[in-house]
Amino acid sequence: MTETQQSANGTESQPQFSLEQWLRKYFKVVLDGIGSFLLKLGVSPNAITILGVMGNLAAAIFLGLGHIMAGGLVILVIWPIDALDGTMARLKGEPTRFGAFFDSVTDRYSELLIFGGLLYYFLMQQNVLASLLVYLAAAGSVLVSYTRARAEAVGETAKVGLLSRVERYLVLVPCLIFNVPIAALWILAILTNFTALQRIYHVARNTHSLK
């Protein structure tokens, strides 16, 4: 991350704190060690990406069957894998545009699988409110990523807001492990959509569209 980030209209904005970048920085030695070991075994970064999706699919099945704590524990185990594919690509010296694209797309699939498992569970329980919260949380999570992608497509940056993907998992995983998924869904339903609105406002302000 650069000291300042410049938008398409030439204005500079101060960098935003990123918990994900902070975690990657302080766990770099561990990630590099594991990544190097897996590369020596012949494992590819894309294979690790797919493994992450499969792990989240398993978690979604547990959640859908009502094994909330088990689902949360599986997500907790799989979560670090999300950082490994990028680390391995960097160590291999072959980071590609497709790899970055594939990683981003599979991240969205992984989140939606988890929300899908929760939605199925609450629909089977005929819990209309919880089902609605799952929908709002899933929509907000996708919009957080989408607003950033669209901002970058027009030459802006939108790494702002309360709940990036790391923060969403920090809310979701403990609540699942302690079997209080409704608490996580309330937080995610509200704050993910608020984060998307923060990013819209950020881009509007940077492009001088707020007049």
CA pseudo-torsion sign 80, 185, 139, 198: negative
The active-site residue out of 32, 82, 103, 107 is: 107
* CA diameter of the chain: 57
Nearest CA to 85 out of 105, 75, 100 is that of 100
Q: Identify whether the C-beta of residue 15 lies closer than 8 Å to the C-beta of residue 4.
A: yes
Instruction: State which H helix or E strand residue 5 sits in.
Output: strand 5-6
- 103 catalytic per annotation: no
Catalytically annotated residues = 107
